[in-house]
Structure 1
Amino acid sequence: MTITPVHFFSHGSTMMLGEQSESADYWKKCGDEAIAHGVKGVIMMGAHWDCVGENKVEVSTNPNPGKSPVAYVHPSKYLDYTLVPDLESSKTCIDLLAKDGFDVTGNDKLDWIHDTYLILIRMFPDKCPPTTIISLNARFDPHFHMRVGAALRPLRMQGYLLIGTGGAVHNLYRNIWQPMLKYSDNFAQETPPEDWAMEFRQAVEDAISGNSGPELRRAITRLMKHPRYRDAHATDDHFMAAMFVAGAAGSEDDNGSYGRLHAETWELTNMCNSQFTIGAYA
């Protein structure tokens, strides 16, 4: 049975849309590969949209979404890119999530945010594929978001590409901002990344590359107990996408399918934008 891979992409700062990088090259490669294999649509969980409620999750159903502005990036990089919401697949996602016990509703007012359309522009610069966005839950429970990915895993066997777009190391409070603010240079590396960033970055790679199936789910959720986790993530929002990916790529049927680090871009000294793919097109 044909099954699509799953991507955990670190989208980084908004400047990742404005500047070329190894990560951007890999995103484009993944988009080209998806088109070559006839991908039916994209299902994404980002980092900047969450909803309130103990068991609540929302699915994008806005038929004509706008784009939230992108700081430090010229509007020509994104303003004319046409978004393609997939309302039919949104309903499919709602049905799958409801069947799994989630309190799920559509959101027909959501304007898309850079964490999702930045990736889409880089992956599919010529034309946006039909796309559905899944919200976070504001409690940021790792097991909750893993279950969301698990509930939507069957879509991988229907030709959908599942993507979590967050961050491997993403602590805005501990970044070095001066070169970007003074010179618009987000890739300046006047000093090496600090040890806490390097240590947690390595823990993420070890968890994804060294585990498969249910062991992947355990390894990824357990990272939130890592002694360097709070240094690497002052807030939990950007790590929930990793939980979504673990759910989507961590069933018993995924045993033996290991993730791999394919590209990495350090920004603002301490932000590590690691790009992982789990599995491959059959």
Structure 2
Amino acid sequence: MGAHWEAMGDRIEVAMNPNPGKNPVAYVAKEKYEKFKLTADLPMGNRVIGMLRDSGLDAHPNPDFDFIHDTYLVLIRMFPKQKTNIPVVIVSANARMDPHLHTRIGAVIRPLRYEDVLIIGSGGAVHNLYRNNWMQMVLWRDNLAMPFAPQDCMLEFRQAVYDAFTMNRGPAVRRAVTRLMKHPLFRQAHGTDEHFIPACYVAGAAGDKEDKEMDNVFLGECWELVNMANSQFQLGSWE
């Protein structure tokens, strides 16, 4: 689940385009991604639709969806020596941005984790475009420049995200992550909801009672445009 695709009403959509294209990325040269071939896993997509429908969710295929940068730029970095990715299924968010609904979506597809399926939520710990510093990007294409420190409110909310994932296990992860949307600094850290919703999705997939003994670890992060934090967490392991 990425951060830029929402279905209207009560719908959840699953990408079922057999030959998906790529939406362009602002400020990124096309030669960095245009030759990378995308592989949509249509059989698994049908299975995911069935799982969602069986749980009572209003799931539908989308045969025209083109991949967005929140998905394919991640895949390019995951498979730097390949010219294509492993088969991928993309599940949309729902435009109501209900954290509990998206936690439920993750919980429904949780069994796939036991079949060597990696579940990814691609969003952002702190992502408010209105609070970003754009000067270095516009003038020099340097999104990682840090001419000054992030605002205190951004640092504080980023810490709350870190604590929610690393200091909780099992169902407590679901409660902690969904509760962050009521954090007093949430709206300052997220001008809109869509970049946070994938965190609820992965909390649902890794927040069952059976996950209480599982390690949830922080792997790394970068800050972009001064005030935007990209934090990476791993919930569970392949062992």
Shorter-chain TM-score: which interval?
A: over 0.9
Aligned mates of 2:71, 2:221 — CA distance in 1: 18
- Choose from 54, 59, 84 the match for 2:39: 84
1:49 counterpart residue number:
5
Q: Secondary structure at the match of 1:265?
A: strand
Residues 146-205 of structure 1: CA deviation (Å, up to 9, x unaligned) = 000000000001111100000000000000001110111111111110000000000000
**What amino acid maps onto 2:14 in structure 1?**
V
Q: Give the secondary structure class of the aligned counterpart of 1:93.
A: helix
Hey, what's the Cα distance between the residues in 2 that align with 1:186 and 1:272? 12
* 1:65 matched residue in structure 2: 20
Deviations 1:117-145 (A, max 9, x none): 01001001203000000001000000000
The 2-side partners of 1:211 and 1:100 are apart by: 26
More strand by share: 1
- Give the total of aligned pairs: 237
Distance 2:129 2:162 in 1: 21
2:195 paired residue among 238, 241, 245: 238
Query: Counterpart of 1:85 in structure 2: which amino acid?
Result: A
Cα distance between partner residues in 2 of 1:259 and 1:169: 19
Q: What's the Cα RMSD here?
A: 0.7
Report % sequence identity.
53
Work out the CA distance in 1 between the residues paired with 2:222 and 2:232: 9
Give the letter aligned to residue 130 of structure 1. P
In 1, Cα distance between the equivalents of 2:215 and 2:165?
7
Structure 1 segments (4+ residues) deviating >4 Å: none
The aligned counterpart of 2:182 is 225
Aligned partner of residue 52 in structure 2, secondary structure: helix
Q: Tell me which residue corresponds to 1:37.
A: none
* Cα distance in 1, alignment partners of residues 29 and 151 from structure 2: 31
Q: Is 1:130 matched up with 2:59?
A: no
Q: What's the CA shift for 1:258? A: 3.1
Find the aligned partners of 2:162 and 2:213 in 1 and give their Cα distance.
Answer: 16
Q: Which has the higher contact order (CA 8 A, sep 6+)?
A: 1
Map of 1:158-237 to 2, 5 A cutoff? 158-237=115-194
CA distance in 2 between partners of 1:185 and 1:120 (Å): 22
> Which residue pairs with 2:61 in the alignment?
106
Q: Distance in 2 between matches of 1:189 and 1:104?
A: 42
C-alpha contact 1:208 1:258 (8 A) present in aligned 2: no
Measure the CA separation in 2 of the matches of 1:124 and 1:132. 16
For 1:237, what is the secondary structure of its paired residue? Answer: coil
Query: Residue type matched to 1:242 in 2?
Result: A
In 1, distance between residues paired with 2:35 and 2:43?
24
Asked whether 1:120 is paired with 2:75, we answer: yes
2:210 pairs with 230, 234, 253, which one? 253
Say if 1:211 and 1:258, in contact at 8 Å, map to a contact too.
no
Superposition deviation, residue 256 in structure 1 = 2.0
Displacement after TM superposition at 1:78 (Å)? 0.5
Unaligned stretches of 5+ residues in structure 1: 1-44
Q: Relative to structure 2, which stretch is displaced further, 251-260 or 221-230?
A: 251-260
CA contact (8 A) 1:261 1:277 kept: yes
TM-score (norm 2): 0.98
In structure 2, C-alpha distance between the alignment counterparts of 1:139 and 1:209, rounded to whole Å:
27
